[in-house]
DNA sequence: CCCAGTGTCGCCTGTTATAC
DNA sequence: GTATAACAGGCGACACTGGG
C-alpha cells in the first residue's frame, strides 16, 4: 500500500523506491503483487512516467484512508498513558471559529484528563471519518443519510452579507439580483443555502470567484476583495473592531438559517469520554442556543 | 504437565545484476 | 525507466528438550 501510494504520488517507480528507502525492483514487485491479488492493472507504464489506471484511481482513496487510520493508531499508541482518555472531534471551520468554541473551552477546564483533538473539515469528509473510526464525533451542517449514525440538531446559524470598509460600493442597499454585478465571493453554505441562492441569484457557476472554506472567504473579505455571505457568529469580533462591516441586504425569500448537527456512530455503548462529551454538549447547548 | 528456549525447514521479501 | 532471474537473509511454524 505504501508503494502504491508513493507511485501514485510521484508517478515513478524509481523515485518511489528512493523515497521508501528500497530498490526500484522492490517497488515493481510490490505493485505487481497488488495487481496480481486484485486481478487488475493499477498503473499504465509509459516510457518516461507512470499513470494510474481507472482501477487504480478507484483504489487510491481507500488506500489513503487505510494509511491515515494506521497513522492515527500509531499516534494513539505513542501518546497512550499521558491522558486517561482521548476524543477526536471533527468540525466545520465556522463551528470552531464561533461562540460555540466556548463550550469546548469549558469542557477542557472541567475534564483536563481528556486529551482532545479538534479537526477542521467539510461535512462530507467529517462524516466519512466518523464512519472510518478516525473521528469520534462531528459537528456538521450536512447530516449523513446513513442509518448507522446518530444525528442531533444543535443550533442554528444566521448568514449575513459583509465587506471590508476599504471596499466601497455604489449602492448602500444590495439585493439578491445585484450580486451578479458586484464583486461577490461565493461559498456554498450547504443545501438549504444553495437552493435559496439558485432561486434568488442564479446558478453558482455564474460566480467569478468562489472558495470552498470559510477561512479563505474571511481572508478575501478582509483584504477587500469583495462582498460575501458569512456566519453572524464568526464575524462578530471583526465587525466590532471595524475590520468588516455589514452590507444591508434584501431578497424575496429570507436567507435560510444553517443548522449545525452533532453526528456520532449509533452504538449501544460508547467509550466513556465520548458518552460524557455527548451528555455535556447536549446540556451546554441548551444554554448556548437561547 | 506446562512453559520457555533452541534448532530446523520452508517461504517470503528484498537486493544485485542484467535485459528490454 | 521498468521487468526479471538468481541469490541471500529474515521470519514464522513446528518439533524437540530440559527445568520447574
Residues A60-102 have pLDDT tens digits of 888 888 777 777 777 766 666 667 788 899 999 888 988 888 8
Identify whether residues A163 and A242 lie together within a single domain: yes
Parallel/antiparallel/unpaired status of strands A43-45 and A50-52:
antiparallel
Identify the sign of the CA torsion A263, A269, A273, A279: positive
Identify whether residues A151 and A266 lie together within a single domain: yes
Three-state secondary structure call for residue A33: helix
Identify whether residues A190 and A220 lie together within a single domain: yes
Identify whether residues A88 and A232 lie together within a single domain: no
pLDDT for the residue numbered A289: 56
The distance (Å) linking the CA of A212 with the C1' of B3 is 62
Q: Which nt is closest to the CA of A47, judged by C1'?
A: C1
Identify whether residues A148 and A167 lie together within a single domain: no
Identify whether residues A196 and A219 lie together within a single domain: yes
Q: Is the CB of A28 under 7 A from strand B?
A: no
With vertex at residue A134, the alpha carbon angle to CA A133 and CA A139, rounded to the nearest 5 degrees, is 95
Q: Is the CB of A22 under 7 A from strand B?
A: yes
Q: Which of residues 35-54 of A touch strand C (CB under 7 A)?
A: 45, 47-50
With vertex at residue A276, the alpha carbon angle to CA A274 and CA A282, rounded to the nearest 5 degrees, is 100
Identify whether residues A223 and A247 lie together within a single domain: yes
pLDDT for the residue numbered A173: 87
Q: What is the tally of structural domains in chain A?
A: 3
Write out the H or E segment, with its range, that includes residue A44.
strand A43-45
Structural domain boundaries enclosing A134: 82-155+259-289
What span, in angstroms and rounded, lies between the C-alpha atoms of A198 and A13? 47
The distance (Å) linking the CA of A144 with the C1' of C11 is 45
Q: Is the CB of A30 under 7 A from strand B?
A: yes
Three-state secondary structure call for residue A181: helix
What span, in angstroms and rounded, lies between the C-alpha atoms of A118 and A138? 9
Q: Which of residues 6-25 of A touch strand C (CB under 7 A)?
A: 12-14, 24-25
Identify the sign of the CA torsion A142, A146, A147, A150: negative
The distance (Å) linking the CA of A35 with the C1' of C9 is 26
Q: What's the grid cell of residue A246?
A: 455589514
Are residues A92 and A234 in contact, defined by beta-carbon separation less than 8 angstroms?
no
Identify whether residues A163 and A252 lie together within a single domain: yes
Which regions in chain A score pLDDT beneath 70?
Answer: 21, 46-48, 76-82, 204-206, 287-290
What span, in angstroms and rounded, lies between the C-alpha atoms of A37 and A29? 12
Domain boundary among A27, A54, A77: A77
pLDDT for the residue numbered A48: 65
Q: What's the pTM?
A: 0.69
Q: Which chain C positions come under 7 Å from a protein C-beta?
A: 1-5
The distance (Å) linking the CA of A30 with the C1' of C14 is 29
What span, in angstroms and rounded, lies between the C-alpha atoms of A290 and A286? 7
Identify whether residues A251 and A276 lie together within a single domain: no
Q: The CATH number of the domain where A36 resides is what?
A: 1.10.10.10
The distance (Å) linking the CA of A139 with the C1' of B13 is 45
Q: For B13, which residue's CA is nearest its C1'?
A: A26
Identify whether residues A99 and A150 lie together within a single domain: yes
Residues A119-137: tens digit of each pLDDT: 999 999 999 999 888 899 9
pLDDT for the residue numbered A123: 92
Domain boundary among A48, A77, A106: A77
Q: Is the CB of A49 under 7 A from strand B?
A: no
In the Cβ-directed half-sphere of A30, how many Cα atoms lie within 13 Å? Answer: 18
pLDDT for the residue numbered A136: 92
pLDDT for the residue numbered A186: 92
The distance (Å) linking the CA of A17 with the C1' of B16 is 15
What span, in angstroms and rounded, lies between the C-alpha atoms of A224 and A105? 32
The distance (Å) linking the CA of A25 with the C1' of B19 is 14
Domain boundary among A46, A77, A108: A77
Q: The CATH number of the domain where A173 resides is what?
A: 3.40.190.10
Identify whether residues A133 and A204 lie together within a single domain: no
Identify whether residues A103 and A165 lie together within a single domain: no
pLDDT for the residue numbered A179: 87
pLDDT for the residue numbered A207: 76
Amino acid at each position: 500500500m505504501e508503494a502504491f501510494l508513493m507511485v501514485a504520488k510521484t508517478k515513478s517507480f524509481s523515485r518511489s523506491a528512493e523515497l521508501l528507502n528500497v530498490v526500484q525492483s522492490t517497488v515493481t514487485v510490490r505493485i505487481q503483487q497488488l495487481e496480481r491479488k486484485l486481478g487488475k492493472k493499477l498503473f499504465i507504464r509509459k516510457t518516461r512516467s507512470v499513470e494510474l489506471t481507472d482501477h487504480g484511481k478507484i483504489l487510491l482513496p481507500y488506500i489513503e484512508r487505510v494509511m491515515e487510520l494506521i497513522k492515527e493508531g500509531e499516534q494513539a499508541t505513542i501518546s497512550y498513558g499521558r491522558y486517561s482518555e482521548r476524543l477526536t472531534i471533527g468540525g466545520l471551520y465556522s463551528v470552531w471559529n464561533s461562540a460555540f468554541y466556548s463550550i469546548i473551552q469549558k469542557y477542557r477546564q472541567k475534564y483536563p484528563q481528556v486529551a482532545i483533538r479538534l479537526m477542521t473539515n467539510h461535512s462530507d469528509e467529517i462524516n466519512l471519518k466518523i464512519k472510518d473510526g478516525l473521528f469520534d464525533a462531528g459537528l456538521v451542517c450536512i447530516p449523513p443519510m446513513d442509518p448507522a449514525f446518530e444525528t442531533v440538531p444543535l443550533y442554528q446559524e444566521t448568514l449575513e452579507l459583509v465587506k471590508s470598509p476599504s471596499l466601497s460600493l455604489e449602492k448602500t442597499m444590495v439585493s439578491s439580483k445585484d450580486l451578479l454585478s458586484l464583486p461577490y465571493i461565493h461559498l456554498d453554505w450547504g443545501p438549504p443555502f444553495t437552493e435559496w441562492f439558485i432561486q434568488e441569484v442564479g446558478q453558482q457557476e455564474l460566480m467569478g470567484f468562489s472558495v470552498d472554506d470559510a477561512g479563505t472567504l474571511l481572508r478575501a473579505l478582509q483584504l477587500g476583495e469583495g462582498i460575501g455571505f458569512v456566519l453572524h457568529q464568526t464575524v462578530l469580533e471583526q465587525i466590532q473592531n471595524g475590520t468588516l462591516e455589514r452590507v444591508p441586504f434584501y431578497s424575496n425569500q429570507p436567507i435560510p438559517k444553517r443548522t449545525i448537527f452533532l453526528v456520532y456512530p449509533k452504538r449501544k455503548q460508547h467509550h466513556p469520554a465520548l458518552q460524557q462529551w455527548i451528555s455535556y454538549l447536549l446540556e451546554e447547548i441548551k444554554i448556548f442556543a437561547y
